[in-house]
Structure 1
Amino acid sequence: MTVPMFKKVRCIKLDAEGAKSGLHEVIDEVPEAVFVNGRHAMTAMMSPSDLEDFVTGYLFTEQIIKSAEEIESIRIETNRISVITKNLFKVLGPKKTILSGCGGAASFIDTEKLPRILPGQPFPVDLIRKTTVEVLDSELHTVTGGIHVVGLASEAGIITRSEDIGRHNALDRVIGYGLKKGTDFSRTFAICSGRISSEMVRKCLVAGIPVIVSRGATTTLAVQIAEQNGVCIIGFVRSAKMNIYTHPERISGIPSPLQ
């Protein structure tokens, strides 16, 4: 069953001709409390879809589990996701609320303890351009103007994509999907519609995703962590334009830069 992602909300619409009352499609935002082995792990403000993929990816990128096989069961109820792991004594970190707002909450980032991604076969620059356009073509964003899109892709094409009010939630979803499908993350790249933050880079490092792409900007801390730990950051992918901030050796077909 498809979960509705938006509701029509009454508003006053202004334009050059004046004002009129009407309806506009507004993205749904709901709290989802996650319990692991009976303990409250966190509460996410998010879009109500693909919750099993989300919680699988979240537990993995927070390093609470190391594989999808560690999960015994996932029970989804209204505003509550209950997870039982095979190790019932799994230790959790402190509870936190993941806000839909960018940078609302994040894990503490210790770059020395993060994984480092080894060199690998580069992705063609034309593949990056083409796949970014395909992933970010969102009818839901066109209708509502209020959704983030994240995709996971390889040279074979798009593996999966997710839409959510928070790009961090959407990234957890695509990682969770890939984890359940046994995806080799070292041969994938992530694409997002919004800013690449340090937390987005951290999640890619935990999963082993070597490239993260956005049609938007990045941050200085994201660039610093990516440079130190082997992730290629690409921003402002629009038409023929893009900015490659770190590890350009992960992309093939780049013209030699002018001095």
Structure 2
Amino acid sequence: MFKKLPILRVMGDSFSEELHPVVEEVPVAVIVNGRHTLTSMTSPVMLREFVIGYLYTERIIRSLDDIESIRIEDATVSVLTKNPFEILVSKKTVLSGCGGTSSFLDSTHLPQAPQGFQISPGVIQSAVKAGLESDLHVETGGIHIVGLFDKEGVAIRIVEDIGRHNALDRLIGFSLEAGIDLSGTFIICSGRISSEIARKCLIAGIPIVASRGATTTLAVTIAKQANLTLIGFVRSNRMNIYSGAERIAGAQTLSG
């Protein structure tokens, strides 16, 4: 996930040659039914889970049963689906900094977030804190964290990547293969909650997303329309609930 590279460190008037950990970024090509579908700038780990999660959240597949085989060779992942002629996709390049792939997002066609449980603000705060204690995150300062937690606040899986959207796809792919019912879980992330994060959560059936960072107006609009609980600026004993407050114990339901 990282390599130690030579740097010249400056401390005041002093200069020193050192080795510093820098996260890896590699281009990964995804081939679906012989067609180049995606090139993603990503971290070189959990490529199988990443591709499954990506294909699922892009609605290229509807379930794991749609996949005939997955083959990973170096930085190329080849996928064969069971109904190749029914799945038409366009070639895309996903950069590590953005991760968004949809040129137009029609929020009216997104599913509603599942209902079913409440959690306390303390559970959210503890989960965010636990997720951000990743050794790689602390050591390099150049990695995003997305964590999957159950409704009791127990970590199911923590995933790291240079891009938060890629990390979420990995987590969703992992959950599909593990048979996890995501309606009883929530996710935490280290970066901004974008419309793409909200969209992927809704497609996967994740009802709550919380971040130590900010959000965007479009993400809030989508969350309100689909009743997704969206929480930002989770720090210490503070947080901002933008939508879906009824899932947070003790909170007043937000209007609009």
Task: After superposition, give the CA deviation of every residue in 1:230-256 in whole Å (9 maximum; x if it has no partner).
Answer: 111111111101111111001113489
* Correspondence for 1:195 among 192, 197, 200: 192
- SS of aligned partner of 1:245: strand
- Report the CA distance between 1:106 and its aligned residue: 3.9
CA contact (8 A) 1:41 1:92 kept: no
Q: Which runs of 5+ in 1 are unaligned?
A: none
**Counterpart position of 1:30:** 26
Residue of structure 1 equivalent to 2:81 = 85
Q: What is the match of residue 47 of structure 2? A: 51
Q: How does 1:203-222 map to 2 (within 5 A)?
A: 203-222=200-219
Partner of 1:68: 64
CA contact (8 A) 1:107 1:199 kept: no
2:159 counterpart of 1:162 = yes
One-letter amino acid of the counterpart of residue 33, structure 2 = N
Distance 2:215 2:72 in 1: 34
Matched positions, count: 253
State whether structure 2 residue 30 is matched by structure 1 residue 41. no
The amino acid across from 2:160 in the alignment is E
In structure 2, relative to structure 1, the CA distance for the partners of 1:104 and 1:63 (3 Å cut) is closer
Q: TM-score, normalised by structure 2?
A: 0.94
- Spell out structure 1 runs of 4+ moving beyond 2 A: 102-108, 253-257
Inter-partner Cα distance in structure 1 for 2:35 and 2:110? 26
Superposed CA deviations along residues 174-214 of structure 1, whole A, max 9, x for unmatched, are: 01111111111111111100000000000001011111010
Residue deviations 1:7-62 (CA, integer Å, cap 9, x gap): 11112111124112221110000000000111111100000001111011000000
**Seq. identity, %:** 55
Return 148-157 or 217-226, whichever deviates more.
148-157
CA distance in 1, matches of 2:119, 2:56: 25
Give the TM-score normalised by structure 1.
0.93
Answer yes or no: is the 8 Å Cα contact 2:232–2:239 preserved in 1.
Answer: yes
Give the whole-Å Cα distance in 1 for the aligned partners of 2:218 and 2:97.
18
Matched position secondary structure for 1:48:
coil
In structure 2, how many angstroms separate the alpha carbons of the residues matched to 1:105 and 1:207?
16
Aligned-residue CA RMSD in angstroms?
1.7
CA spacing shift, 1:95–1:152, aligned 2, 3 Å: same
What is the deviation of 1:102? 2.9
Answer with 117-126 or 174-183: which moved more: 117-126
| 2:24 equivalent to 1:20 | no
CA separation in 2, counterparts of 1:188 and 1:141? 23
